Amino acid sequence: MSSQKLKLGFIGLGIMGGPMAHHLLKAGHQLFTHTRSKTPDYLQQDGAVLCASAMEVAQQADIVFLMLPDTPDVELVLFGENGVAQGLSKGKAVVDMSSISPIATKDFAQRIAAMGCDYVDAPVSGGEVGAKNAALTIMVGGTPSGFERIQPLFELMGKNITHVGGHGDGQTAKVANQIIVALNIEAVAEALLFAARAGADPAKVRQALMGGFASSRILEVHGERMIKRTFDPGFRIELHQKDLNLALSAARSLGLSLPNTASAQQLFSSCVAHGGKGWDHSAMVKALEGMANFEMG
């Protein structure tokens, strides 16, 4: 399938969506795009066709990818005026790579399937670096046939691709991912702040820990960000807060306690109160530094 030239659509060309769409274009597929902000120059230079609406993208493309910030954005783009649903015809497919509510996803899938189209939820992990390097982790929900149809295209954007289960299960896996990431950021921030406050060089402590059982991708990438104070996103705190809201609201409906997820959310809220909703999520360390009245860098 990947050797065949396909008509693909991509809606949402931000920090993540732009590079992801570019990989599809560079593989030789025809690309129809629509985005709220300006379409990146590199996509236009390589032949992306700009469309006036999401409906037009769906009319032109056989498979439409979405990479949008939140659940209401996906609902509006799919089912709003001049939305994707108005441009679909039987046999097409919608692939939502945004991170949104698993419950809403099941509803969206049902509505798109009723039109005779495939619906696949495929949220990603790996951030801007993973998007640029085509090394994303992709967590997929949908029918086996829907997954098989899109898999060759996922392989152009990511490395670790897992069909988790039915519609919404990809989103559930992404929420679980975001819980682990937030709690790891908190752990790394507390450890490096402790080391710095105790008088040790946090960079050397991080280097020592990278060789042991405490080693992690978060310690490697975000630990360095904390030490070097490079808090440009990356992945914005406001987006991680959205994901943790999904976790905490779902947990409440399941009668489940997620105490450390809740505390991580509160630390993010402290950052937001200090003007940090657009900071990279590694800046959670600044909330802890505020409570300690001590800055490691």
Using CA atoms, how far apart are residues 157 and 137, in angstroms rounded to an integer? 9
Using CA atoms, how far apart are residues 198 and 276, in angstroms rounded to an integer? 27
Using CA atoms, how far apart are residues 75 and 196, in angstroms rounded to an integer? 46
Tell me which of 90, 174, 204, 277 is the catalytic residue: 174
Residue 106 is a catalytic residue = no
Q: Tell me which residues are annotated as active site.
A: 174
